[in-house]
Amino acid sequence: MTQEIWQSRPADLYGRRTHDRLFNALWGAITVFGGMAALSRWTPSRVAPVSRTIAAVITKREMVTSDVVALTLADPDGGLLPSWTPGGHIDVQLPSGRRRQYSLCGVPGRRTEYRIAVRRLDDGGGGSVEMHESYAEGDTLLFEGPRNAFYLGTGENEALFVIGGIGVTPMLPMLREAAQRGIDWRAVYAGRSRADMPLLDEVLAVDPDRVTVWADDEHGRFAGTEELLAGAGPQTAVYVCGPSAMLEAVRVTRDEHADAPLHYERFSPPPVVDGEPFEVELARSGRVLEIPADRSALDVMLDADPTTAYSCRQGFCGTCKVTVVSGDVDRRGRTAEGDEEMLVCVSRANGRRIVIDA
């Protein structure tokens, strides 16, 4: 059982898969209580469909940490890019056909240029590596959007922003907006070391007196929820963006203040909850894939075919939607799945086998 939990859990607060005892205890709590927390606090996203492809030119490419590249984008003809709001993201169409979502981290609302930042994950799905290696200044980048499922609420008087590593990208413009709106805000930015924390100088520049920096190498451990949520009162709106473990820990801890707003955005897929093994039959080839209890159908399909389309891996963008030929789908997506559709990143089978048109 312990091994099963280990295999299904995400990496630690910053993407590591070390077996430290504190994290084991934390993950155990998440495994037990996470589903309940999701039921009580989940807010459906307001994601509008993305409908047109836009070409932008890369006007600046810079490494902001040793493994994070920031790209500045502009209209090739010097015009304005579509309007956007803090927390918004674009869907990048990579040369390989992959699609990946990246938050806009430039000056809020600025339409003469966008900026995105991408952490390279050599053991990821290949998208971040392609982002790092495929684009130079002067190249064209195709994207759809922007769209936004992670807004700064209109009624907030007091807000805490909990940031983990590359989770800073949607948060930086939100901090700037909070400052502009006169919200009583604070931020906790956690990372392995200051050198590993992208855009740290810009976060501090918003208002250094309101930002707490937690660098693991300065404390000898990663931040617990007592540090991440220090000073958050019962009515404080909490925004969190970072790795799954950080997000789940904050979410579980804030459940004691169920009336206070809690907003979060994941950068990695959530762990499978209450998964049962099943089979996916690919109708066109007749190939049958075994889906274990702790993995998504998409993960196994990617093992078989790395070009399988996906983007968010969280059931809201619709990129991975397939047509179901036969079988009963346990629908778990946040975007609509029709009677003969399945989001393979999150949905599962009620029976033993699903046959899909793939």
- Residues lying near ligand FES in the complex (CB under 6 A) are found at 310-313, 315-320, 333, 343, 345
Q: Rounded distance, CA 102 to CA 115, Å?
A: 9
Cβ distance to ligand FES smaller for residue 45 or 236: 45
Cβ distance to ligand FES smaller for residue 127 or 198: 127
What is the closest distance, in whole angstroms, from the C-beta atom of residue 177 to ligand FES in the complex?
A: 26
Tokens of 87: 């927390």
What is the closest distance, in whole angstroms, from the C-beta atom of residue 311 to ligand FES in the complex?
A: 5
What is the closest distance, in whole angstroms, from the C-beta atom of residue 212 to ligand FES in the complex?
A: 33
What is the closest distance, in whole angstroms, from the C-beta atom of residue 343 to ligand FES in the complex?
A: 5
Cβ distance to ligand FES smaller for residue 250 or 343: 343
What is the closest distance, in whole angstroms, from the C-beta atom of residue 294 to ligand FES in the complex?
A: 18
Query: Which whole-number Å values give the CA distances from 47 to 126, 152, 202, 287, in the listed order?
Result: 25, 15, 28, 34
**What order do you get walking across the sheet with 237-242 strand by strand?**
211-215, 184-191, 158-164, 237-242, 262-266
Cβ distance to ligand FES smaller for residue 70 or 344: 344
Kindly state the DSSP code that residue 83 receives in the 8-state scheme: P
Determine the residue type at 50: V
What is the closest distance, in whole angstroms, from the C-beta atom of residue 349 to ligand FES in the complex?
A: 16
Per DSSP, the residues of 184-205 read: EEEEEEEESSGGGSTTHHHHHH
What is the closest distance, in whole angstroms, from the C-beta atom of residue 70 to ligand FES in the complex?
A: 24
Cβ distance to ligand FES smaller for residue 173 or 315: 315
Cβ distance to ligand FES smaller for residue 63 or 273: 273
Q: Rounded distance, CA 99 to CA 130, Å?
A: 11
Cβ distance to ligand FES smaller for residue 327 or 333: 333
Kindly state the DSSP code that residue 165 receives in the 8-state scheme: G
Cβ distance to ligand FES smaller for residue 34 or 333: 333
The answer to whether residues 68 and 129 touch, using CB atoms and an 8 Å cutoff, is: no
The answer to whether residues 99 and 128 touch, using CB atoms and an 8 Å cutoff, is: no
What is the closest distance, in whole angstroms, from the C-beta atom of residue 316 to ligand FES in the complex?
A: 6
What is the closest distance, in whole angstroms, from the C-beta atom of residue 334 to ligand FES in the complex?
A: 8
Q: Which of 107, 24, 41, 59 is nearest to 240 (CA)?
A: 41
Kindly state the DSSP code that residue 3 receives in the 8-state scheme: H
CB-based burial, 138-162: b 16+ in 10 Å, e otherwise: eeebebbbbbbbbbbeeebebbbbb
Q: Rounded distance, CA 306 to CA 320, Å?
A: 13
Going by C-beta distance under 8 Å and a sequence separation of 6 or more, which residues neighbour residue 180?
108
Cβ distance to ligand FES smaller for residue 100 or 120: 100
